Amino acid sequence: MTEFSLASYANKPLAECTELELFNALLSLTKDAAAEKGYNQGKKRLYYISAEFLIGKLLSNNLINLGLYDQVRAELAEAGRDLAELEEFENEPSLGNGGLGRLAACFLDSCATLGLPASGVGLAYHCGLFRQSFDKNKQYESPDYWLRWGQESWMRRTPKHYTVNFGNLSVTSTMYQIDVTGYHSQCDTLNLFDVDTVDERVIKNRINFDKSQVAKNLTLFLYPDDSDEAGRILRVYQEYFMVSNAAQLMLDECVERGSNLHDLADYAAVQINDTHPTMVIPELIRLLGERGIGFDEAVQIVRDTCAYTNHTILAEALECWPLSFIERVAPQLVPIIQQLDAFVRGQYEDDFVQVIDQWQNVHMANIDIHFSHSVNGVAALHTKILEDSELAPFYKIYPEKFNNKTNGITFRRWMVECNPGLNKLVSGKIGEGWKTDAEQLEQLLPLADDPAFLAQLDQVKRTNKQTFAAWLAAHQGTVVDPDSVFDVQSKRLHEYKRQQLNLLWAIRKYQRLQMLEADELPKHKVTVIFGAKAAPAYTIAKDIIHAIICLGKVIEADPVASKYLQVVMIENYNVTAAQHLIPAADISEQISLASKEASGTSNMKFMLNGAITLGTMDGANVEIAELVGEDNIYTFGDSSDEVIARYKRGDYNPRSYYEKDEELAAAVDFLTSDAMLAQGDATNLNRLHDELLNKDWFMTFPDFADYCATKAQVLKDYEDREAWQRKALVNISKAGYFSSDRTIAQYEKDIWHLR
Ligand code: F58
C-alpha cells in the first residue's frame, strides 16, 4: 500500500499554500488513494437511477472512508494548517432537495462499504438546488454555482458519450464520474451525465432562465421551477436524458461483462428511485427492440431487471405527465407506452391501474408497478398504507411484488464525521466495530446506569452546542445560547411536515411568557431552530418561512421573552448545515401529519446523535418508538388511521377547533397582529392566517393541544439532566437498526441478488 503524503501533492511547502492549493492537493491525493483501493466488481451490477444524489461535501468523508483522515490532519497541523478550514472551504454539491436525494447518497456509501458492485446514475446539474438567502424576512433564491471558484472537481470527465434523441433535437452526452469511497473497503462510482452545450449565460435573474433552448439549459438546475408548462416540459427532458443515458450505459456494460441481453437480469439490477426515472422502462424495451428482441420478451426482461421505490403517498407528488409532453420530448417512447397501456387494459378493467388515463395522462408509478418485479415503501407504516389504501388495487393484483425496506443512514457521515466527540466517547467504550456493524451500539445499553458515562455524554452535547453556536454566528451572524434547549426542526419546508405547528407553539409560548410572573418563569431558555428551503413556487411554504423569521424578530425585540425563548431560521440549510446542527440538537421535531411522512431520515440522524424525538406516530417514528420504548420518545397527535378516516369523511373544519380553543385562536390570530405586521408583509401573513383558518389541509389544529402538552412535558423532563441523558443513551444504543448498511443488505437479499 502506498504511503500517501500530502506534501508530495503540493508544489510548495504546505505552510505556504493557499487554501485553494491545499484543497486541490487533497483532492488529488484522495483520488489516487481511491483508485488504489479499486472498485467493486462482479457479474451483476446495481444501477441506482435517481434524479437526486445529495452527496454533501466529500473531502472529510473520503478521508475517513479511505482511512487517511487522522494522518492528513496531523500532516496539516504540523505545517500549522487546519483541516477544518479546508472543510469550510469546500463547496457542497447540492444535487438534491431533501431525504430522497440524501438517501441515494447514503445508499451508495453502504453499497461501496458492503462490497456490492453499484453505480449511481443521475444528472450533473451545474447549479443544483438553489441557494437560499433571507431579505426582508423572506426567502430569495439564487443559483448555487458549486463547481466554480477555481476548485478542482470531484467529478472526472470520462470518454463516454451517448446520443440522446429528443423530438426536436439530438444531443451528445458526456459522463462524469465521482468516486464513492466505501468505509475501509473498495469504491463504487456515481455516474452523472451532462451535455457540453449547457450555457450558464442563459440564466437571467436569480434562478430564472430562458427555458426554450433545451440544449443550453438541460442540466442547468435541479428541478427547474415547475409552476409553468415550460418548466414541466424541461423536467421531462431531464428525465428522458437521464434514463436514456442510464439504459445505454447499462446495456453496453452488461454486454461487456458477457450478457447476450436475453439474460440481462443476470447482469443488472435497476432501482428506480421514485417515479423520476420511470421512462427507463420503455427506453430499455425500445433499445432491446433495436437489438432484435421482441416486445413480449423485452417486457419480461425489463420486469426482471427493474424494481421501484415509492417515497410518498402525497397524490400530488406522484408524477403524471401528459402524453403530449412525452410526444414532444421522446416520441419514440409513445408507441411503447401505448403498447404497455394496451397490455394492461387487456388484463385489468379498473381505471385506477391504467397506464394512460382518459385525459391522455401517463401515470408513471403505474408503469413502475406493472413493469417491475418489486415495489417497496420506505418504512413499515408507509408500506402498509401503500398496500391497504394508496395502492390497494395494485396490491390485490401483485401482492408478491410489495415489500418494505425501512430507510437508513450512513453512520460514517452521520456520526463518525459530524460528531467526533461522540464517536470518540462511543468507540472508547465499545471499540470501532459499530462503524460497520451498527447493532453493536447496543453494547452501550448497560451504561444507562452509569452516571459518570451519562455526564460525559452530557459534556459531548454541550461542546457540540458550543461548536454549533460558533458556526451559526460565523455563518449568518446569529447568536444562540448553548445553555438553552436546542429544539430543532430541519427538513424541506412542506405543509405536511407541519413547521406551522411548531410555529404556533412558539407563538403560544411567547404569549404565555408575557403573562407569567417572575417566579413562574422557566429555568432553561428554549431555542427553536428551523432549517428549511421552500420550493420556489410553493407560496404557503414561503409564507411559513416569512412568519417564522418575523416571529424571531418580534421575540428578539422583547426584553423579557427573549431571555426565555428564541426562534432561529438557518439560512441555506443543506447537508453541511445539517452536519453542524444535528450533533447539537436536544429535541428532534418529527411532527408530520400521521400517514404523510413516508419515513423521514433526519429522525434517524438526530436519534443517533442523542437527541430525543418529539413526534407523531408517522413514518419511521413508529419504528423508533418500538425500539426505544415509550420512556425514551415523546409521541402525540392523531394516529394515521384517524387521519385517514377524517380525510375520507371529508368533514374537517379548522374553524371548529379555533372556536373551541382560546389559546389556539390567540396563536393563530397573532400571525396578523400589529407586532407581526410591524416586522413583516401583510399579504404573506394574512394569506397564511386565512389558509390555516379556512383550510389547514394538514390538520395542525386537531393536534395542537396535544402537541403543546407533550412539549411541555419534554421541557420539564429536560430539567433532570441525568434522566435526559439516559434517554439519549438508549436512543444512541438502539439506532443501529437505522444504519443504511442494514437497509442495503435487505435490498440485496430480497431484490437485487448481486451476489
Ligand atoms: C422523502 N421524499 C420523503 N422527496 O418525504 C421522506 O419521508 C423519506 O424519508 C425520503 O424521501 C427517503 O425515502 C423526498 O425527499 C423530494 O425531495 C421530492 C423530490 C421531487 C420534487 C419534490 C420533492
Handedness of CA 568, 574, 580, 583 (dihedral sign): positive
pLDDT for res 405: 98
Question: What class is the 418-735 domain?
Answer: alpha beta
CA distance linking residue 491 with residue 455, whole number of Å: 30
pLDDT for res 304: 98
Please choose from 95, 100, 498 the residue to mutate so as to test ligand 1's pocket, defined by most ligand atoms within 8 A of CB: 100
Looking at the structure, give the CATH architecture of the domain made up of residues 38-57+92-317+365-404. 3-Layer(aba) Sandwich (3.40)
Cα of 23 vs centre of ligand 1, distance in Å, is 32
Cα of 597 vs centre of ligand 1, distance in Å, is 9
Q: Whose CA is nearest to atom 14 of ligand 1?
A: 100
pLDDT in tens, 523-549: 899 999 999 999 999 999 999 999 999
pLDDT in tens, 379-424: 999 999 999 999 999 999 999 999 999 999 999 999 999 999 999 9
Cα of 311 vs centre of ligand 1, distance in Å, is 6
pLDDT for res 128: 92
* Average pLDDT, integer, range 2-24: 94
CA distance linking residue 609 with residue 732, whole number of Å: 7
Angle between helices 229-256 and 280-290 (to 10 degrees): 50
The answer to which of 1-5, 56-60, 87-91, 516-520 has the lowest mean pLDDT is 516-520
Please choose from 107, 223, 312 the residue to mutate so as to test ligand 1's pocket, defined by most ligand atoms within 8 A of CB: 312
Residue 519 vs residues 358, 430, 523, 565, 721: alpha-carbon distances, Å: 67, 45, 10, 16, 21
Q: Which atom of ligand 1 lies at the shortest distance from residue 103's CA?
A: 12
Q: Do domains 38-57+92-317+365-404 and 418-735 have the same CATH topology?
A: yes
| Residues acting as catalytic residues | 311, 491-492, 497, 601, 605
Residue 94 predicted with pLDDT over 80: yes
Cα of 574 vs centre of ligand 1, distance in Å, is 14
Cα of 698 vs centre of ligand 1, distance in Å, is 17
Q: Which atom of ligand 1 lies at the shortest distance from residue 598's CA?
A: 7
pLDDT in tens, 202-214: 999 899 998 889 9
Residue ranges around ligand 1 (CB below 6 Å)? 97-100, 103, 223, 311-312, 378, 407, 597-601, 619
pLDDT in tens, 704-717: 999 999 999 999 99
pLDDT for res 473: 98
pLDDT for res 490: 98
Q: Which atom of ligand 1 lies at the shortest distance from residue 317's CA?
A: 22
Q: Which atom of ligand 1 lies at the shortest distance from residue 619's CA?
A: 7
Cβ atoms 230, 238 nearer than 8 A: no
Cα of 405 vs centre of ligand 1, distance in Å, is 15
Is the complex ipTM higher than 0.95?
A: yes
Q: Whose CA is nearest to atom 4 of ligand 1?
A: 100
Element (H, E) at 307: strand 306-309
Confidence of residue 1 (pLDDT cuts 50, 70, 90): confident
Residue 433 vs residues 183, 271, 734: alpha-carbon distances, Å: 12, 30, 15
Cα of 493 vs centre of ligand 1, distance in Å, is 11
Q: Whose CA is nearest to atom 9 of ligand 1?
A: 600
Name residue, grid cell 418548466.
231
- For the chain, which residues make up each domain, given as ranges? 38-57+92-317+365-404, 418-735
Cβ atoms 288, 298 nearer than 8 A: yes
**Cell, residue 156:** 472526472
Q: Whose CA is nearest to atom 2 of ligand 1?
A: 100
pLDDT for res 210: 87
Does residue 444 sit in helix, strand or coil? Answer: helix
* Average pLDDT, integer, range 617-646: 98
Q: Which atom of ligand 1 lies at the shortest distance from residue 620's CA?
A: 9
DSSP output for 447-484:
GGG-HHHHHHHHHHHHHHHHHHHHHHHHHHS----TTS
* Per-residue b or e along 108-119, where b marks 16 or more CB atoms closer than 10 Å to that residue's CB: bbbbbbbbbbbb
**Cell, residue 494:** 412542506
Q: Which atom of ligand 1 lies at the shortest distance from residue 592's CA?
A: 7
Cα of 729 vs centre of ligand 1, distance in Å, is 29
Cα of 500 vs centre of ligand 1, distance in Å, is 19
Cβ atoms 679, 630 nearer than 8 A: no
pLDDT for res 122: 98
Q: Whose CA is nearest to atom 11 of ligand 1?
A: 100
Cα of 96 vs centre of ligand 1, distance in Å, is 10
Cα of 492 vs centre of ligand 1, distance in Å, is 9
Element (H, E) at 139: strand 138-142
Percent of the chain clearing pLDDT 70 (strictly above): 100
Please choose from 54, 311, 602, 605 the residue to mutate so as to test ligand 1's pocket, defined by most ligand atoms within 8 A of CB: 311
CA distance linking residue 264 with residue 299, whole number of Å: 12
Q: CB-based burial of residue 253 (10 Å sphere; 0-12 exposed, 13-18 middle, 19+ buried)?
A: middle
Q: Whose CA is nearest to atom 12 of ligand 1?
A: 100
Confidence of residue 131 (pLDDT cuts 50, 70, 90): very high
pLDDT in tens, 470-503: 999 999 999 999 999 999 999 999 999 999 999 9
